[in-house]
Amino acid sequence: MFDFFNKKKKKTNDVKENTLSEEQLSNINQAIDTKKSEITKVEKTATKAEQAKLYEELGLLYAQKNDDEAIPILEKSLERKLSMGDGYKKLMSLYNEKRKEAARNGDDAGIDKYMNKMDEMRSVAKKLTISGDK
């Protein structure tokens, strides 16, 4: 009737990796190469906002592949122009994943690092909300 004294079994988290087919991976890699060449062509002449958009698009492509390269590229996008678009949301999600991973591994420094990064992202959101720029 009551299970007060019985230990509850921990549920196993079945984390499903988004595995991509070879064709999907090839398409993403091709899109990454195209985006990189586009960035190289316009980097000197494009405005900061245009550069930010291109880096955001590139970072989101890397994120589709579950590639850690997405984080520095999305950070570069926000360095160019602060925004709360898809890149911001994905970066926050990636930081949270990294924090969870560090917690599972008992890595206190990693937990602190990604908690601080998430705090910085929240301050960006606050700044943009107050200023009215989204």
Looking up residue 74, the CATH number of its domain turns out to be: 1.25.40
Neighbours of 122 (CB within 10 A): 11
Question: Could you tell me if residue 15 is inside a domain?
Answer: no
Statement: residue 29 has pLDDT above 70 = yes
Question: Could you tell me if residue 2 is inside a domain?
Answer: no
Question: Could you tell me if residue 95 is inside a domain?
Answer: yes
Report how far Cα 99 is from the mean position of its chain's Cα atoms. Answer: 12
Single pTM value for the model: 0.81
How far is the C-alpha of 128 from the C-alpha of 89, rounded, in Å?
Answer: 14
Tell me the residue type at 73.
Answer: I
How far is the C-alpha of 81 from the C-alpha of 90, rounded, in Å?
Answer: 16
Task: Name the residue with tokens 């602190």.
Answer: 112
Tell me the residue type at 90.
Answer: K
Question: Could you tell me if residue 7 is inside a domain?
Answer: no
Q: How many domains does the chain have?
A: 1
Can you give the length of the chain in residues? 134
User: 19 pLDDT band (50/70/90 cuts)?
Assistant: confident
Taking only the tens place, the pLDDT of each residue in 69-93 is 999 999 999 999 999 999 999 999 9
The domain in which residue 115 lies consists of 22-131
Question: Could you tell me if residue 3 is inside a domain?
Answer: no
Average pLDDT, the chain: 88
Residue-level pLDDT at 20: 86
Question: Could you tell me if residue 118 is inside a domain?
Answer: yes
Question: Could you tell me if residue 93 is inside a domain?
Answer: yes
Tokens of 102: 């560090």
How far is the C-alpha of 53 from the C-alpha of 35, rounded, in Å?
Answer: 11
